A and B are shown apart, each in its own frame.
Chain A
Amino acid sequence: MKSALTWEIIAKCSTTKARVGKLILPHGPVDTPVFMPVGTQGTLKGITPKQLEELGCQIMLNNTYHLGLKPGQELLEQIGGSHNFQNWSRNLLTDSGGFQMVSLLKLAKITEQGVEFQSPHDDGSTMLLTPEHSISLQNSIGADIIMQLDDVVSSLTTGKRVEEAMYRSIRWLDRCISVHKKTDSQNLFAIIQGGLDPNLRKKCVEEMVLRDTPGYAIGGLSGGEEKDTFWKIVTLCTDLLPKSKPIYCMGVGYTEDLVVCSALGVDMYDCVFPTRTARFGNALTSKGSLNLRSVKFSNDFQPIEKDCDCVACKSYTRSFIHLQATKETVGCHLITLHNVAYQLRLMRNIRQAIIEDRFPSFVKQIFKDLFGDNEKYPVWAVNALKSVNVDLLSEK
């Protein structure tokens, strides 16, 4: 199908499947692998668009379900989309809205037609989100990348339902493609489903690749499945998907997951974790997370992380942020700024290591910093990296 992006691989790791790419979207370039912070309701948790731009963020997420409720489709049409509404001049990605319906709403019912759910207006009525409606909403929001409505099942579900959901997601993709009006300014990504079953995943990839969407997402993971199963599905998908298109792994945002998935050939990620955990006073560092509410930081006069160039680290000590954390909004904003800076820096460092072809040693250093003792390394990560020729436990 028609695409409104170009994507070029500019470096490949000679050991793993990791790659660095330059994605050009309607609102500017995106360097991959990329982490996309989540600005659910058309705003990234207390951070101004200017601050986000200064952090070097090239693409952010908005959630279709939330924007559809408030400010609503009509207003978004009127103002010319979410970019204008929130004054964000760089790229946006929207999800389909389906995931929120299933995860946030009780009694969501999925039929061939779409996702039927209880109206959030609390009047007892039901509403129906169809593939057509999701695309129409996403066309009004105007994000640079939009996602198909997929039939989401929990990654712990087994049996016939998983197969049904996979095939239905293919049929829904066709319906999405046929109603997508803005193919010259918005890129529709297909979402690979098929649960934890390699055969279903394989079948799904085959069918969806035939539709030739501008990019592909790996869906239906990060839902509490065994991590050893998770990475095997990811690596299967990156093996099967065309090398010429960006691959997006949905809902991934922990440091070790980002590093491992990048080694497996994934290009894009999103997760609410860095911004959500900030609101509980947790600051991310290369040595792990610091809970700045803890009294042990009250007399700690270092910055959150040495050498971090974010506003929080340049301006304040841990002691000061401890005073603010979870008590004043400023505390939350400072930790959010830091955590987004941390994620974006991590991705920049991943890209740089791939470009300089020292990614394996970079990965080892990340794990050493994060977990210290190699007995504490998660087994799944050791296994996943071994599959792409990086032995975390070797001394070299």
Chain B
Amino acid sequence: MSGFSFNLLKITDPRFRLGKIIFSRNKHEKILDTPNCFVYTIRGSVPHLTPDNLQTIPADAFGITLEHFLEVQPPSSTYFMGGIHKFLNLEEYPLFFDVRDSEKLQNISFGTDKYVPVVTSHGCRKVTLEEYIRYMNIYNPDIFASMTDLITVKNPGLKRVKKSVDRTLNWLDETLEHTKEGIQVFGVVTGYDKHEERERSAKETANRNVAGFVLNGFDLDMTSKERLDLMKISLKYLPRNKPRGIDIFNTSYPSDMTSLGHALTFLLIEDGIQHRREKFINLWDDKYRTDFKPILDECKCYTCQNHKRAYIHHLLKTHEMLATVLLMSHNLFHYLQFFKTIRKSINLNTFTNTAIQFINMYGSDDNDASNT
């Protein structure tokens, strides 16, 4: 027995929505409150965090990328009989699969009607639609995104975009036909910067029997405003009663910040945006050498409860791996708190004001968070 339901709990003015996705399998329920994010993973684990350290972080769901497992085909994990949740030791969580790592897209050769190209540490590989569906049926994830004809060149022509929309829709039809019952398929809405194609992609995808939608097809160097405008076109044609991309986000932002030695410090909405605080601090900076405070005094993460800025600075300077462990623990914790406070604020009808304050303080036009 398995099931999937999306319940809209609240829609506030003008467009904020609070939802709850319930995944049920074998009498076991997993709940995902939205807005939320799928925690970014590489090769099926959160960068730097072993399961015991991950347990200190209130993660709700994970995004897994097939591309990371395709050095050998079929991936060794497809021979594991217990399903992908058990293989990855993530049995308690909803898992969302996609083919490509949308955070690290590299410009590679074109695909065809039959396959998409992927990048692995052993070079380029290709994966066909039939293989993708077969792997998903073996893995048994909670949700996966249907295969997408991604365009990785800048400013694609109308013809190319049309082909991308067509292929993606055709693949979606085949996917819906061949996917095992109980696995939810999210249709991918694309169309790049061609308004009429965005509209067509959204309308056609909405006509299919999908569980939800992934918004895709944004150029990596678009401004947030351009991206937002295109997003609005897609959203207009998507039914409100299904998760639509603005409900769940997929981003490697916390781990990218970790790689840079940055610790997130931006104010959470529940703090109220009265005083100023930096968006992040760079712990490589020598001014932290003798800073014996935690990253954030009030933060409840393992790192802030146990370690000081000076120690993390020392770990960075000495190239010790514990630096990224502690930074990732904090950054991911802080980032998930951010979503939690957004949900709280929508629920209290205070989101409109605080969001404006937040954007005024931290700017709206940077590209370090992207949406799926």
A327: interface (CB < 8 Å) = yes
Known: A86-B311, A87-B311. A311 touches B87 (CB 8 A): no
In the complex, the answer to whether A329 meets B321 with C-beta atoms within 8 Å is yes
In the assembled complex, the CB of A88 is this many whole angstroms from the nearest CB of chain B, namely 10
Q: B256 to chain A: closest CB distance in Å?
A: 15
With contact pairs A319-B76, A320-B44, A334-B50 given, residues A47 and B322 touching in the complex (Cβ less than 8 Å): yes
Chain B residues whose CB sits within 8 angstroms of the CB of A365 once the complex forms? none
Question: What number of B residues sit within 8 Å (CB to CB) of A?
Answer: 41
B45 touches A299 (CB 8 A): no
A78 contacts the other chain (Cβ, under 8 Å)?
A: yes
- Residue B51 interfacial (CB < 8 Å): yes
Q: Which of B23-58 contact A (CB under 8 A)?
A: 42-53
Residues of B within 8 A of A48 (CB): 53, 302, 306, 322, 325-326
Q: Are B52 and A329 in contact (CB under 8 A)?
A: no
Partner of A327, one of B43, B89, B290, B325: B43
> Is the beta-carbon distance between A317 and B87 smaller than 8 angstroms?
yes
> B168: CB under 8 A from chain A?
no
Find out whether the CB atom of A301 lies under 8 angstroms from the CB atom of B314. Answer: no
CB pair A320 B87 closer than 8 Å: yes
Asked whether B88 is an interface residue with its Cβ less than 8 Å from the other chain, the reply is yes
- Tell me the complex Cα distance, A323–B44, Å: 9
Are B43 and A323 in contact (CB-based, < 8 A)? yes
Assuming A323-B44, A334-B50, is B318 touching A316 (CB within 8 A)?
no
Q: In the bound complex, what is the Cα–Cα distance between A39 and B49 (angstroms)?
A: 19
Contact A328 B80 (CB under 8 A): no
Residue A298, interface by CB 8 Å: yes
Q: Does the CB pair A79–B292 fall under 8 Å?
A: yes
Q: Is B306 a contact of A49 with CB atoms below 8 Å? A: yes
Binary interface profile of A, 318-341, with partner B (CB < 8 Å = 1, else 0)? 011011100111101110010000
Min CB gap B69→A, angstroms? 7
Known contacts A70-B317, A311-B52; decide if A299 and B76 are in contact (CB<8 Å).
yes
**Distance A57 CA – B292 CA, assembled complex (angstroms):** 26
Closest to B319 in A: A41
**A328 with B43: CB separation less than 8 A:** yes
Chain B residues 301 to 343 lying within 8 A of chain A, measured CB to CB, are 302, 306-307, 310-311, 314-315, 317-318, 320-322, 324-326
A30 CA to B256 CA in the complex, in Å?
A: 41
Tell me the bound Cα distance from A47 to B69 in angstroms. Answer: 26
Binding site for B on A (CB under 8 A): 41-51, 54, 66, 70-71, 75, 78-79, 85-87, 298-299, 301, 311-312, 315-317, 319-320, 322-324, 327-330, 332-334, 337
- Sample of 15 further A-B pairs with CB below 8 A, known A85-B311, A333-B50: A43-B315, A43-B322, A47-B322, A66-B318, A70-B317, A70-B318, A71-B310, A75-B290, A87-B306, A87-B307, A301-B80, A315-B89, A323-B44, A324-B43, A329-B325
Q: What are 27 sample pairs from A and B whose C-beta atoms fall under 8 A apart?
A: A41-B315, A41-B318, A45-B321, A45-B322, A46-B322, A47-B322, A48-B53, A50-B302, A51-B52, A54-B52, A79-B310, A86-B311, A315-B51, A316-B89, A319-B76, A319-B77, A320-B87, A320-B89, A322-B76, A328-B42, A328-B47, A329-B48, A330-B45, A330-B46, A330-B47, A330-B48, A337-B50
